[in-house]
């Protein structure tokens, strides 16, 4: 049996729908750059799939697109544990229920990870075949840098200032 990751970065989206692929771009920017105990995973973002992926994980960062009326490339940081909600109008999955619904259901069921943050990037084009916009591509780079800071195990911040607690050191 495979052991569940304790720390997960779940990058959501459809790379064939323009800016909706922002999560997948962030995943590609992160591969090979995170501590070995942090798993980067990609998914389409259906609520059932998101719930399945975050089940049993201690710390999760989700990256997805959003449509709330803010300018394209705006980065919304949502602390799910504090009760903040995903911006209204998040890009829905092809299944109709997405990340926002998965988080709401996880809260209701009592299975929301103890640390759960969403980076929702405001999108403007998400029709099939669209390319990523420049604003969203720039935001993806910024989100990747934020994720790198949150998962950094090099103790650059004192323990009381760390948002994402590090895993116990080996040896």
The string of pLDDT tens digits covering residues 134-149 is 999 999 999 999 999 9
The two tokens of residue 154 are: 């090099």
Q: Is the dihedral of CA 14, 18, 24, 28 positive or negative?
A: positive
Q: Write the pLDDT tens digit of every residue in 4-22.
A: 668 999 999 999 999 999 9
pLDDT, residue 3, reads 67
Whole-number Å distance between alpha carbons of 43 and 31: 15
pLDDT, residue 78, reads 92
Domain locations in the chain as residue ranges: 7-161
The neighbour count for residue 115, using CB atoms within 10 Å, is 18
Q: Write the pLDDT tens digit of every residue in 76-92.
A: 999 999 888 776 545 54
Q: Write the pLDDT tens digit of every residue in 97-116.
A: 888 889 999 999 999 999 99
At the topology level of CATH, where does 7-161 sit? Rossmann fold (3.40.50)
The neighbour count for residue 29, using CB atoms within 10 Å, is 18
pLDDT, residue 91, reads 52
């Amino acid at each position: 049996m495979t052991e569940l990751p304790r720390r997960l970065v779940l990058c959501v989206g459809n790379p064939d729908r323009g800016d909706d692929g922002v999560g997948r771009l962030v995943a590609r920017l992160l591969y090979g750059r995170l501590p070995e105990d942090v798993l980067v995973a990609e998914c389409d973002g259906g609520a059932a799939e998101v719930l399945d992926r975050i089940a049993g994980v201690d710390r999760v960062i989700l990256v997805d697109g959003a449509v709330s009326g803010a300018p394209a490339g705006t980065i919304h940081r949502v602390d799910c544990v504090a009760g903040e909600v995903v911006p209204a109008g998040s890009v829905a999955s092809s299944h109709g229920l997405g990340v926002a619904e998965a988080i709401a259901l996880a809260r209701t069921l009592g299975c929301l990870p103890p640390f759960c943050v969403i980076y929702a990037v405001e999108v403007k084009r998400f029709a099939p075949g669209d390319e990523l916009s420049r604003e969203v591509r720039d935001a993806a780079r910024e989100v990747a840098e934020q994720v790198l800071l949150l998962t950094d195990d090099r103790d650059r911040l004192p323990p009381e200032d760390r948002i994402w607690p590090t895993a116990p050191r080996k040896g």
